[in-house]
Structure 1
Amino acid sequence: MVNRINFINPFGNANYDAIILKTLGHYAASDTNLDVTHLENCPSDIDFFYSKHMIEQSLFEAVLASEEQGYDAVIVGCLYDPGVRVARELVDIPVIGPLEASFQMAANFGHSTMVLTDHRKAVPYIYDQARLNGQGDTVCGVDAIDWFVKDMINDRASVAADVVRLSGEASRRFGSETVIMGCTIIAAIYQEYLMEGGTPSEVPIINPNLMALKMAEGLADLKRKGGYFLARQGFYMKPTGHFKDEFDNARRTWNASKPRFAR
């Protein structure tokens, strides 16, 4: 059986789809059908939190549609892990966040890790996510290479050079053995640089796109074989009965009255 996995770029444009498919498709298992999609009718970039919250509403609809279309798992392709926990309330297929997957997989690569994210605004957010994911004591620190996503895609060589230089500097400063590359697009640019013969960083780089893909493949396999169940009695409880009616009404209202830019 083929696993169908939808890697959703949570951006309202297609600027990042090709590089994700180019750098991630190579690692997909032979029985994985990997699609890379993006959102429609939402802000183009997720660098600021107000845009992030607007993007999440479009993301929820895309996750629901993915399950309806027969996908076996969904990856939300941003290290903010936007909407991941809420999306798990909505669907029964695995919904994977690259940051959460990287935290959970990091111990396989080294005793300690840190996150090298894109811009300064994201640094405290990633610290908060480390605590939320139970990694507050095992993540040595968070730093940034000071790029915004809409700029980095147009200057990939400079981004790759900064990754190589700053990952080594940051790992020494924080005392970490490995570095989680803290943006899915930075990770893709660095992977493209390696594929084109670039010299790797002196410190092992954990690629969150790859961690998310392998977790999605594994959980999709488990679900097909009856080994994956979401606990529905607590945090991920689905609305049922009159709560389901209320949810359906709210969803219809949103889709009928959402702002013009989101239509």
Structure 2
Amino acid sequence: MKLCWIHPTGRNAALEPLWNIIHQSVGAAVAPGVQLDFRFLDNSGGFTRSLYAEHLNSVLMVEAAIQAQADGYDGVFLGCWNDPLWEAREMLDIPVASVGEQSMLAALAMGQRFAVITVSDKTAVAIERDIVGYGLSERCIRQPVRSIQPFSNLELLLEATHSPQTSFIPRLEAVAQQCIAEGADVILVGCAYYGPLLRRIGYRQVTGTQVPVVDSSTVALKYLEAMVGIAQCSGVVKSTANLFAGIDAASIAQARRALGLL
């Protein structure tokens, strides 16, 4: 089985410590015999904390997913909560998973009501929009997505590669305690990178509680393994009715060509 993890950004040299740790940590979690490769975007603006910026970046992520299928991968993983999941599923004939949808579905089997703690208020808006779109509003708390304060930045992310307990975990737990008081019994880490960094140091639940803090990325990636396994044994990848119905290849090619993608 060959899986392709698509990052939402280019390979920023300043974040090499992060990339190395994420790749090692997540790569060690896949099943024996699974090949997991990581790809970065060639032209990403490196910013998705805006609905419009996310929209622009989504085009590049789908293009990378299309290329991964052409290169023979069995499944594609969109490595960001700001993801073009349905757009990629429409275009691909192999399983496509996202950090968000797959970890939320996992949370349904872990507790009654989940909450997502993310890295900025703009990201929270985008994730809450997805929760509504996925029809999961009844299985999470009121205001189900909340951000750490102050927001995440490059310095916090780099610090978390070696000491997440210094700044990130206190910020996470301050919000988690609010969510727990309002009924959350599962906390999802609403960032593709912080989750593996927390799991790496053995941090699995909110201090003083029995509420798990879930490494959404690794859990979602394991779900992709299952999705590919189901496709291989059953022959079913997705519905091709309604939303994911077949589209005219020439028309899509014309649209991609008009944007300089072909």
Matched residues in 2 for 1:71 and 1:256: separation?
A: 21
> What is the aligned partner in structure 2 of residue 13 from structure 1?
11
Matched residues in 1 for 2:49 and 2:157: separation?
A: 14
Alignment of 1:246 onto 2:254: no
> What is the aligned partner in structure 2 of residue 152 from structure 1?
156
1:163–1:211 Cα change, 3 Å = farther
Work out whether residues 96 and 216 of structure 1, in 8 Å CA contact, stay in contact via their aligned partners in 2.
yes
Work out whether residues 45 and 150 of structure 1, in 8 Å CA contact, stay in contact via their aligned partners in 2.
no
Structure 1 unpaired stretches of 5+: 258-263
Matched residues in 1 for 2:49 and 2:155: separation?
A: 11
The amino acid across from 2:58 in the alignment is E
> What is the aligned partner in structure 2 of residue 212 from structure 1?
220
1:50, distance to aligned residue in structure 2 (A): 2.4
Matched residues in 2 for 1:116 and 1:50: separation?
A: 22
1:166, distance to aligned residue in structure 2 (A): 2.7
1:119–1:127 Cα change, 3 Å = same
1:163–1:109 Cα change, 3 Å = farther
> What is the aligned partner in structure 1 of residue 138 from structure 2?
137
Of 113-122 and 60-69, deviating more is: 113-122
Matched residues in 2 for 1:127 and 1:64: separation?
A: 27
Work out whether residues 114 and 174 of structure 1, in 8 Å CA contact, stay in contact via their aligned partners in 2.
no
- Cα deviation, 1:59-80, whole Å, max 9, x if unaligned, reads 1110011001111111101112
Over the matched positions of the two proteins, sequence identity in percent amounts to 21
The amino acid across from 1:126 in the alignment is I
- Cα deviation, 1:173-193, whole Å, max 9, x if unaligned, reads 322111011111221222233
SS of alignment partner, residue 110 of structure 1: coil
> What is the aligned partner in structure 2 of residue 186 from structure 1?
194
> What is the aligned partner in structure 1 of residue 229 from structure 2?
221
1:38-187 correspondence runs (5 A):
38-80=40-82, 82-140=83-141, 141-146=144-149, 147-156=151-160, 157=163, 158-162=166-170, 165-166=173-174, 168-187=176-195
> What is the aligned partner in structure 2 of residue 32 from structure 1?
34
Count of aligned positions: 248
> What is the aligned partner in structure 2 of residue 4 from structure 1?
2
Matched residues in 1 for 2:179 and 2:236: separation?
A: 36
- Cα deviation, 1:15-36, whole Å, max 9, x if unaligned, reads 3532321221121000211112
Structure 2 unpaired stretches of 5+: none
The amino acid across from 1:64 in the alignment is I
SS of alignment partner, residue 179 of structure 1: strand
Of 126-135 and 160-169, deviating more is: 160-169
